[in-house]
Amino acid sequence: MAEADTTLSAQPMFEPPRHVAIIMDGNGRWAAARGLPRAEGHRRGVEALRRTVRAAGELGIQYLTIFSFSTENWSRPASEVGELMALLRRFVRNDLAELHANNVRVRIIGEREGLSSDIGRLLEEAEGLTRVNTGLTLIVAFNYGARQEIARAIKRLNDAVTKGEVDATTIDADTVSRFLDAPDVPDPDLIVRTSGEQRLSNFLLWQSAYSEFVFLPIHWPDFDRAALETAILEYRRRERRFGGLVAQTGS
Ligand code: IPE
Ligand code: IPE
Ligand code: MG
């Protein structure tokens, strides 16, 4: 007899969360545990990212946001920052064509000002090439900090008020949402963080108001489809109430 398929997508009525966001943490500790340089952990982290994008598409997730470089990560040694920038360049150069072929739409959130011009161009190229794709939307949080994003939103909103496009007396939470970096993207249903840390580290503070959080003990380079399915299964056990009394299980 054939073995039963126990994978998540084989379950009846499987409906994945629409938007999963991941804090990809623990590359350095993964490497240190193996006596390897931190850079090797980051390289293996890119491989985990490839697996995850593929798995997210296969599982029918519509939006996948990944935290790849935070505003605060500039405080790391220049050599490590340089390695992370080099990895981003390589990722776009090596993987963009395949992402495009797989109908993935790439979006970038974060501060573009102050990035080196070649990185800025690569990010624009990734967004431009994949703009009309209709499969998974991959949102890369790069040079991203949530407080900085909210500050940018306030500036843009202020410009709109000055131009007479928005009446300041009508500003509410939805208005603010419309001025964030990716205003059309729904809030994340599920936020996953690897490496055991239980904090947001300035990620999606506004958008996570009603997200479910799953913290996994594994380091990011070990992340794969099975880990993503574990996080989704945990999410499906949660009851989402959104402040009301009617429980909605994660779906
Ligand atoms: C995540 O791994 C990658 C980035 C933050 C860019 P870390 O580099 O934070 O690895 P740890 O947390 O030091 O193990
Ligand atoms: C968060 O991880 C940023 C990314 C995953 C890109 P960090 O490793 O920078 O977070 P802290 O410093 O442990 O809070
Ligand atoms: Mg870390």
DSSP lists the bridge partners of residue 214 as 192
Residues with CB under 6 A from ligand 2: 23-25, 67-70, 73, 197, 199, 201
Q: Is residue 242 part of a domain?
A: no
Q: Is residue 200 part of a domain?
A: yes
In a mutational test of the pocket of ligand 2, which residue from 24, 46, 66, 70 has the highest number of ligand atoms less than 8 Å from its CB? 70
pLDDT at 1: 46
Question: Roughly what angle, to the nearest 10 degrees, separates helices 225-237 and 38-59?
Answer: 60
Task: Identify whether 158 is a catalytic site residue.
Answer: no
DSSP lists the bridge partners of residue 193 as 23, 215
Cβ–ligand 1 contact at 65 (below 6 Å): no
pLDDT at 249 over 80: no
pLDDT at 78 over 70: yes
Q: Is residue 105 part of a domain?
A: yes
State pTM to two decimals.
0.95
Q: Is residue 134 part of a domain?
A: yes
Residues of the domain holding 23: 15-145+190-236
Q: Is residue 155 part of a domain?
A: no
CA 170 to ligand 2 center in whole angstroms: 36
Q: Is residue 156 part of a domain?
A: no
pLDDT at 250: 75
pLDDT at 113: 94
Nearest CA to ligand 1 atom 12: 26
Inter-residue contact 60 to 10 (CB < 8 Å): no
Q: Is residue 82 part of a domain?
A: yes
Identify residue 184 by its one-letter amino acid code. Answer: D
How, if at all, do strands 63-70 and 248-249 pair?
A: unpaired
Residue range 13-62, pLDDT digits in tens: 578 999 999 999 999 999 999 999 999 999 999 999 999 999 999 999 99
Q: Cα–Cα distance between 35 and 188 in angstroms, integer?
A: 36
Residue 108 has phi, psi (to 5 degrees) of -120, 135
CA 23 to ligand 1 center in whole angstroms: 9
pLDDT at 9: 64
Task: Identify whether 133 is a catalytic site residue.
Answer: no
What percent of the chain has a predicted confidence (pLDDT) above 90?
A: 92
Nearest CA to ligand 1 atom 6: 69
Per the prediction, the chain carries an average pLDDT of 95
* Length reported for the chain: 251
What's the total number of domains in the chain?
A: 1
In a mutational test of the pocket of ligand 2, which residue from 42, 67, 73 has the highest number of ligand atoms less than 8 Å from its CB? 73
Locate 40 and state its tokens.
């090797």
**Longest C-alpha distance within the chain, in Å?**
70
Q: Is residue 151 part of a domain?
A: no
Locate 166 and state its tokens.
């928005």
DSSP lists the bridge partners of residue 249 as 239
Tell me, what CATH number does 131's domain have?
3.40.1180.10
E-assigned strand segments in the chain: 19-23, 63-70, 105-109, 137-144, 190-193, 212-215, 239-240, 248-249
Q: Cα–Cα distance between 215 and 206 in angstroms, integer?
A: 19
